[in-house]
Amino acid sequence: MKPRNQTIASAAFARINARKENRKEENKKYGTLVHKLPAMILQNGLAQTTGFLLAKNEAHHQALLDDLIAVFKKVDANLANITDGEALHGEIIQSDLYQIMRLTRNALDIAGWLRRYVQGVLKIDATGESIDKDAVAAGGQS
């Protein structure tokens, strides 16, 4: 049995690695949103964050919600039957305090790994720009 963090990391890596084939413009918008996700969860809560992603009818919002669902399903057996963003959001808003704290902790861990892989695999920084390897070596990006 793998540790929870390793399960999250491998599922997040698979989702981000599959995005390498997408158009660069799609990945820029997606990457920018992924960088904002941890702060969105901390500032607004998990329910409002998933509600926001649902409300925005843009491809990169839906893609992030799909990735959250896919990784959540690998980590949380209680969410194995979740099929879409509305079902995830419904599960979150119906949760009791203990469940919402657990879901939020998992969502923050997932968001952290997605962000790491957007930086490392897709080479996209918080502004949506490409991370230049030379700038990283020179200390321009971290």
CATH code linked to domain 4-137:
1.10.520.30
**Each residue of 26-65: b (16+ CB within 10 Å) or e?**
ebbbbbbbbbbbbebbeeeebbebbbebbeeeeebbebbb
Looking at the predicted structure, is the pLDDT value of residue 136 above 70? no
pLDDT tens profile 70-118: 999 999 888 889 999 999 999 999 999 999 999 999 999 999 999 999 9
Does residue 28 contact residue 127 with C-beta atoms inside 8 Å?
no
What confidence score (pLDDT) does residue 78 get?
A: 85
pLDDT confidence of 60, banded at 50, 70, 90?
Answer: very high
Please, which residues bridge with residue 124 across strands?
130
Please, which residues bridge with residue 130 across strands?
124
Does residue 113 contact residue 9 with C-beta atoms inside 8 Å?
yes
pLDDT confidence of 133, banded at 50, 70, 90?
Answer: low
pLDDT tens profile 62-81: 999 999 999 999 998 888 89
Mean pLDDT, range 14-20, rounded to an integer:
92
Domain ranges of the chain: 4-137
Which residue type, as a one-letter code, is found at position 116?
Answer: R
